[in-house]
A and B are shown apart, each in its own frame.
Chain A
Amino acid sequence: MLNSERIGHEYPPLVYAVGREKIREYAAAVGDTEPLYTDLDAARAAGFADLVAPPMFAVVYAGGGLEQGLFDPQLGIDFQRVVHGAQEFSWPGPAVVAGDEITSVFSVGEIRETAGLVFYEFGSRSVNQAGATVCEGKWTIIVR
């Protein structure tokens, strides 16, 4: 019961306000002590307006969008059987810093079935308040 008609569907945009303490919380959770992520003086001395978010902070500002796909009734994904198969990110634009407002749009990419497994690809594009693309993602979910 693959719903290939859903391919290309875009979900409503999600807006995320990047906070300084959220960056620190994320950096601590992954054990990253890089000063640009944790030390405001160091970030400002390097020329940034505020603390820099690690590139993988993309999962924080964009990750909520994945739930739009996982819980999309048109796709009917059985959440209990989901595993994360693969992940791609690119960061073509400026680094994300505290104070940015990031808007992310998720879309349904390829859907295919192989050997009893169903692969769903979701795309994400995140832009900052100036309209610059800060991250693009491809999220591959496998339903067993």
Chain B
Amino acid sequence: MDDHRQIELVVTPDPYVTVRYAGASGDFNPIHIDEEYARAAGLEGRILHGLWTMAQVARAAVQGAEVATPEDGYALKSLSVQFRGMGKLFGDVVVRGAAEADGVVKLDATQGETRLIRNARALIH
């Protein structure tokens, strides 16, 4: 993959994305799926799952690449992230990244002014 490749992935959540992700992932923490619970917890409303946002970073990191082969497994060899602000169920989630040397890709994910994931580092082979 060419070095210095610039990455951008824009994902628009819909009001039920956390419900689908809860079912798919098994993470039914009510803070993601129950508006009243989330408000009682002091939030404006339900929040995105951090691991859903990390999945968007994982997708973005291998954009345009063959994601897996039987011989070499996944193109994405590792991914580490730090979670920061809480994601809302409206407003585009934007993943931006840049490929560096030796398969390293550095990324972050934002939603408006909120930084959802910072210092993400992926290794692609």
What residues make up the interface of A, taking CB atoms closer than 8 Å to B?
22, 25-26, 28-32, 34, 36-37, 46-48, 52, 54-56, 59-60, 63-64, 80, 83-95, 134, 138
Contacts and interface: CB of A to CB of B under 8 A. Distances in A.
B56 A91 contact: no
Interface residues of B, number: 32
B25 A60 contact: yes
B25 A87 contact: no
Contact of B20 (A28, A56, A84): A28
Contacts of A80: 41
Given A52-B67, A55-B58, A64-B26, A30 B81 contact: no
Interface string B66-82: 01111001101111111
B90 interface: no
Interface in B15-62: 17, 20-21, 23-27, 41, 50-52, 54-56, 58-59
A47 B69 contact: yes
B56 A30 contact: yes
A95 B73 contact: yes
B11 interface: yes
Given A25-B23, A28-B20, A84-B50, A90 B77 contact: yes
6 contacts: A29-B24, A30-B59, A54-B58, A88-B79, A88-B81, A91-B74
